[in-house]
Homo-oligomer: A and B are copies of this chain.
Amino acid sequence: MNIALLGFGTIGTGVYELINLHKGRFADNLDEPIYITKILDRDPNKKVDPSDHHCEIVTDPDLIMNDPEIKIVISLLGGMEFEYKMIKTALEHDKNVVTASKAVLSEYFAELNAIADEHHVFLRYEAAVGGGIPIIGSLNEELKINHIDEIMGILNGTTNFILSNMTENNADFDETLKLAQKIGFAEADPTADIEGYDVSRKLAILSTLAYGGIIRDEDIKKRGLSDVEAVDVEMVKSIGYVIKYLGHSKLLNKNQVYTTVEPVLFPNESMMGHVDSEFNIISIKGDVIGELQFYGKGAGKDATANAVVGDVLYVINSLKEERNPHYKTLDKDLHKMGNSGFSGRYYLRVHVTNNDELAYVMSVMNADKGRGQIVVSGDDVFFTTSEIQADVFDSLVERLKERTPKLFYARIYE
């Protein structure tokens, strides 16, 4: 069985090593040997293992797409449009595709699913959500019996590393982000991570599968993490909470979908509150099974390669057993309702520079029943509100921002 690899970066190298290193282990499951015969990379001078005489680096994708011996294409390119084009072309050339691209999937889910279905090939993407955590497979299994109506997860290693580090070292957001970049936990352009796009794409994929209709990145209400400060970490700790960056979706009344990516406070005594550093956790709730949670490494070379190779083995076994792929229709008409389906008490810190601003903040918060406990400390005013609907609180904050834009807030999960 011949396989092609698109992209020879960190994950690509991990997959290459895992397939070549671990052949002895796979042998149990395989009738014929598997070889990565072609690797697409922009740099033709990249080298594979010198003892590997089966594999060559190519720069022209057509050499892969038109190779009839290649049955599986593993796409690990990164980015969006080129990878989309490659995945689509491979499927159209009757090749089974395994990918880790949350960006491409969440953007082109319906189209790629339909092409794969039409060509009777497998399209697998376990590594696209939660890295090494087997969440896609588990979710699909539980959906055979359950209606899933809630998904919640700490899905981004970079922001979770930042929050863990801020907590541990009482450090500020900016310096911690710089540290994360220095040691390779954050990219030079961290926008996708800290503004919630990475979480949003993963949440879109899980929600689409769970609720049976397409939910896109743009349907998801996102709020970035960059307003959080050391003083927030300290204050919430003193009242028994920890800040996490959460993706959360709910299905209510059969077809109303509420989605949000935002900072949330978890109680110290919760499990979610203790998922640290580069680990991820995903919770799903079904009407029969109740709540299930899955925890593991959300990123990294080995864990992600593990998920990719797991998909490859699944495809190989399915081809051997002449099993056909089975695509669920994702055509349920879902109404995307923003975040008004969430509610809770809120933690809010507002920075004020003078008494007028303080009076303004007090009057805005006073006008609403949302005001609960108040602490004024130096130039900061801290509130913990009574229960309030998420979108109502958002609009309250918009009014505050008109005069006091330096603030941070988070829903309290209870």
Contact = CB atoms under 8 A, between A and B. Distances in A.
Which has the most chain B C-beta neighbours within 10 Å: A142, A145, A274, A293? A145
Given A271-B275, A289-B297, A137 B145 contact: no
Interface string A281-306: 00000101111111111001011011
Contacts of A144: 25-26, 29, 310, 313
A18 B296 CA distance: 31
A224 interface: no
List the 6 closest A-B pairs by CB distance, nearest first.
Answer: A293-B295, A292-B296, A289-B306, A288-B306, A271-B274, A290-B297
A145 B28 CA distance: 11
Contacts of A22: 145, 288
A141 interface: yes
Contacts of A306: 142, 145-146, 286, 288-289
Contacts of A145: 18, 22, 25-26, 306, 309-310, 313
Contacts of A26: 144-145
A366 interface: no
A289 B310 CA distance: 11
Identical chains bound together, number? 2
Interface of A: 18, 22, 25-26, 28-29, 132-134, 137-138, 141-142, 144-147, 268-271, 273-275, 286, 288-297, 300, 302-303, 305-306, 309-310, 313, 321, 323, 328
Contacts of A294: 292-295
Nearest to A22: B145
Contact of A271 (B271, B291, B309): B271
B289 A296 contact: yes
23 contacts: A22-B145, A25-B144, A26-B145, A132-B290, A132-B292, A133-B292, A138-B138, A142-B306, A142-B310, A144-B310, A145-B310, A274-B274, A286-B306, A289-B302, A289-B306, A290-B303, A291-B295, A291-B296, A292-B296, A293-B293, A293-B295, A293-B296, A295-B295
A329 to B, nearest CB: 10
A110 to B, nearest CB: 18
A100 B60 CA distance: 53
A300 B94 CA distance: 45
A28 to B, nearest CB: 8
A72 to B, nearest CB: 16
Contacts of A290: 132, 296-297, 300, 302-303
Contacts of A133: 292
A289 B273 CA distance: 23
Nearest to A26: B144
Nearest to A134: B138
Nearest to A300: B290
Contact of A289 (B286, B303, B323): B303
Contacts of A132: 289-290, 292
Given A271-B274, A274-B270, A141 B288 contact: no
Contact of A141 (B18, B137, B274): B137
Contacts of A295: 271, 291-295
Nearest to A144: B313
A274 B288 CA distance: 23
Nearest to A138: B134
A208 to B, nearest CB: 17
A310 B18 contact: no
Nearest to A286: B306
Nearest to A328: B28
A230 B310 CA distance: 47
A18 B303 CA distance: 36
Nearest to A313: B144
Contacts of A297: 289-291
